[in-house]
């Protein structure tokens, strides 16, 4: 039994085929030189990829967020404490230990974002904040909700804020956000 081998490739109108691209009917030196003046052809097509991402040494931070616990790191030698995950101390290279961050902090600084990445664009404007934790030497970058981004105030600086967590973790840094305490 012989297999039928198609003589032509199947064609679709799925955005991958360009019809009637401008091209001279006669090819000569003059028309070939003119091709340099043509606008580049652009084809829009959907693109999808499945990407396996590893959080590596930061995995406990994301596991903590999914369990409504925020972790930071501390250098065992100096006690320098990072509010964000950091596997090694930035000054001496020591491997750090995991420590639990307090559930409450203080608003150190903020900005109102009127534009954001594709994921956050529907939520604009939003407040991006730096939270200071007692006992931590660095600040934590997060979202601040429960306040009106259209009426920002310097009175917010120094405000006590409390951590909130997404009910269904996405294993992203945005799983934790803060509200006024």
Measured CA angle at 165 (ends 161, 136), to 5 deg: 50
Question: Does 57 have pLDDT greater than 80?
Answer: yes
Question: Does 162 have pLDDT greater than 90?
Answer: yes
Q: Which of 5-14, 15-24, 34-43, 95-104 has the highest mean pLDDT?
A: 95-104
Average pLDDT over residues 15-31: 75
Question: Does 40 have pLDDT greater than 60?
Answer: yes
Secondary structure (3-state) at 7: coil
The Cα 126–Cα 178 span in angstroms is 12
Whole-number mean pLDDT of the chain?
Answer: 89
Q: Give the confidence band of 20 by pLDDT, cuts at 50, 70, 90.
A: low
Give the pLDDT confidence score for residue 8 in this predicted structure.
Answer: 75
Question: Does 61 have pLDDT greater than 60?
Answer: yes
Q: Give the confidence band of 1 by pLDDT, cuts at 50, 70, 90.
A: low
pTM above 0.75, yes or no: no
Average pLDDT over residues 146-150: 95
Q: Taking a C-beta distance cutoff of 8 angstroms, is the pair 139, 85 a contact?
A: no
**Two tokens, residue 68:** 């409504």
Give the pLDDT confidence score for residue 2 in this predicted structure.
Answer: 67
Average pLDDT over residues 138-164: 97
Measured CA angle at 169 (ends 164, 171), to 5 deg: 110
Give the least confident one: 38-42, 89-93, 104-108, 123-127: 38-42
- Alpha carbon 31 to chain centroid distance? 48
42 versus 30: the higher-pLDDT residue is: 30
The Cα 135–Cα 169 span in angstroms is 27
Question: Does 123 have pLDDT greater than 60?
Answer: yes
Average pLDDT over residues 129-150: 97
Which residue is associated with the tokens 């954001």? 116
**CB-based contacts of 121, cutoff 8 Å, min separation 6:** 115
What share of the chain in percent tops pLDDT 70?
92
């Amino acid at each position: 039994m012989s297999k039928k081998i198609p003589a032509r490739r199947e064609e679709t109108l799925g955005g991958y085929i360009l019809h009637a691209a401008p091209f001279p009917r006669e090819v000569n030196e003059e028309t070939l030189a003119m091709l340099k003046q043509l606008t580049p052809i652009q084809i829009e097509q959907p693109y999808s990829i499945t990407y396996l991402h590893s959080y590596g040494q930061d995995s406990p931070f994301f596991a903590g967020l999914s369990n409504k616990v925020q972790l930071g790191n501390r250098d065992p030698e100096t006690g320098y404490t990072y509010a964000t995950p950091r596997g090694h101390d930035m000054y001496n290279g020591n491997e750090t230990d995991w420590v639990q961050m307090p559930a409450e902090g203080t608003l150190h600084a903020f900005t109102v974002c009127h534009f954001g990445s594709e994921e956050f664009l529907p939520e604009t404007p939003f407040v991006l904040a730096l939270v200071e934790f007692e006992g931590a030497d660095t600040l934590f970058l997060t979202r601040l909700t429960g306040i009106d981004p259209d009426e920002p105030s310097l009175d917010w600086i120094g405000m006590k804020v409390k951590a909130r967590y997404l009910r269904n973790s996405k294993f992203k840094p945005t799983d934790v956000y803060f509200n006024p305490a």
